[in-house]
Amino acid sequence: MLPDDAIDRLSEGCQTIGKLCQSLGIQQWEVVASQSYGHQIDIEGGKITLAGGGGEGGFGIRVLDEGRFGYSYLVEPSSAEKAISEAISIAKISPSIKDFVLPSNMPANKVSGLSDSTILSTQPDELLEQADMIISHVSSQDSRAKVTGGGIGVGATATAILTSEGIESSGLSTSHGIGVQISIEEDNELTSSWQGESSKSKLNDVPKCVDRAIDWAQKTRSPIKLDDGAVDAPVLLTSEGFSPLFSMVVPSAIKGEKLVRKESFWSDKMEQIVMSKSLSIVDDPTLPGGKSSRSRDDEGVPALKQQIIESGRLVGSLWSTRDSYQQMSEGRIEFAKTTGSAVRSGHQSPPVSGCSNLFLTSSEGGNDYEKLLEIMDDGFVINSVMGAHTANPTSGDFSVTTSSILRVEDGEVIGAVKQAGVSGNMAKSLASRVHLGDEVRAQGSYTSGAMYLPNVLLMDEIRVNPV
């Protein structure tokens, strides 16, 4: 998929740009590079509608001048002189961050499972076969069901970083992902469910998410009528239903600069109990084969596992180098340092603080689906939500809607609900009675990194308004 010499070309480009920075007398500089390529198959109306492929890449340059930094990006090293000049000009007019310097080189441990050779050799016709297999599988499971949207794809990304402080690193990562919308239309009733899955290694021909999508399209048919109106009730959110809300508010709340700027619902609560005492949160970029695993962060700092919440107590936070120096410069904290938590959206942007693989765990262990229903007694099960991006990451407040919801009475599902509004406060819910499921699934994120989450039963601070 990628050219065999992709990493070498990126590394050579970084060297060329780095030497030019040196020749211009720049004391501190950082050059990053990326090149990605992929194949994609789109499915619509039960048929393959589009097959395509492509790639993109380039270089990013960060320069420092007495605590001031400027950033620029370019496609080819041949235009480096102009890009460096732009970065210098930006640095000259930027506010100074006292004592800000780029991180020094430190040894980093290798993280396994970041790339899969079978993905690198995957051809478009193999994706076509997989797409056909998924379409056939859906039809065999339920003749009424169709894949009405989504697709399947593979990708590979080569990266490199070179700095004036001796950091020199490069690597390769791969991905294989699928997203499907399964719809059942019969008797003037349409139900749908979206499910997705991705991995750095090759997925099975028919990933489990396909069967989950079929299952929820079936479960939500023939909704029952509820006359209760809005109620405060326990809610069991599947991993897919919980992750959009969790990823919108929690990764932001644990960023160091958000905590010290009083922009987190956990500000001024370090070493205090902020969640149910059974719960813990860990950010682990060293997870073998993790969706957002890495040996170094996007500033070249060695990646380290970070304990954020331990038995309900806030014990850590996430920092990039720049953010830690900035908050010290502004007098909000006396001391901070990078936690190896710098992330970028690509070579076109400078690094900021962010998470990698975020895990929510419980000292009480996990419960299967039936046990969670038993614990809930009366309440609702929700598999997906709409509008999670509107959740307030500062307060934790959210208000979303769902058409993938079931009513539970006496520990048993009694039927689907056509639609409902769901509101609450994530910080308060997580600080109250919480029970976790026994199967952890990797999910994407609205912010940064990946969320490794089970089904989550929130017993308090949730209001459901069925339609």
Domain end call among 217, 248, 271: 217
Flag whether 88 is in a domain: yes
Residues 134 and 241 in one domain: no
The enclosing H or E element of 323 equals helix 321-329
Give the Cα separation of 97 and 92 in Å (integer): 12
Flag whether 453 is in a domain: yes
The pLDDT value given to residue 229:
87
Residues 237 and 187 in one domain: no
Residues 374 and 451 in one domain: yes
Residues 165 and 237 in one domain: no
Residues 184 and 289 in one domain: no
Flag whether 160 is in a domain: yes
Residues 200 and 289 in one domain: no
As given in the structure block, the two tokens for residue 1 are 């998929």
Sequence-ordered strand ranges (E) for 66-103: 68-74
Average pLDDT per 10 consecutive residues for the chain, totaling 467 residues: 90 97 96 96 92 90 95 96 97 94 96 96 93 96 96 96 98 97 96 96 94 97 90 97 97 96 96 98 98 97 97 97 93 92 94 97 97 98 97 96 97 97 97 97 92 98 94
Domain end call among 165, 184, 217: 217
At 34, which CATH number? 3.30.2290.10
Give the Cα separation of 463 and 94 in Å (integer): 46
Terminus-to-terminus CA distance in the chain, angstroms? 49
* pTM summary value: 0.95
The pLDDT value given to residue 200:
97
Domain end call among 182, 217, 252: 217
Flag whether 87 is in a domain: yes
Flag whether 1 is in a domain: no
Axis-axis angle for helices 124-141, 208-219 (nearest 10): 30
AA letter at 160: A
The enclosing H or E element of 210 equals helix 208-219
Flag whether 222 is in a domain: no
Say how many domains are in the chain. 2
Give the Cα separation of 193 and 155 in Å (integer): 25
Strand order in the sheet with 47-65: 68-74, 47-65, 28-44, 145-163, 168-186, 189-199
Which of 380, 432, 390, 452 minimizes the C-alpha distance to 411? 380
Dihedral pair phi/psi, residue 413, rounded to 5°? -70, 125
Q: What is the DSSP letter of 318?
A: B
Residues 251 and 148 in one domain: no
Q: Is 466 helix (H, G, I), strand (E, B) or coil?
A: strand
Sequence-ordered strand ranges (E) for 284-410: 306-310, 313-314, 342-343, 352-353, 357-362, 379-382, 397-402, 405-409
The pLDDT value given to residue 33:
98
Residues 150 and 296 in one domain: no
Give the Cα separation of 373 and 414 in Å (integer): 12
Rg of the Cα atoms in the chain: 24
Outline where 333-416 has alpha helix (H). Answer: 369-376
Residues 252 and 209 in one domain: no
Flag whether 225 is in a domain: no
Residues 241 and 198 in one domain: no
Instruction: Supply the range of the domain harboring residue 402.
Output: 231-466
The pLDDT value given to residue 181:
97
The pLDDT value given to residue 467:
85
Residue 23: count other Cβ atoms within 10 Å of its Cβ. Answer: 10
Residues 202 and 247 in one domain: no
The pLDDT value given to residue 434:
98
AA letter at 55: G
Flag whether 223 is in a domain: no
Q: Is 259 helix (H, G, I), strand (E, B) or coil?
A: helix
Residues 179 and 280 in one domain: no
Give the Cα separation of 262 and 394 in Å (integer): 8
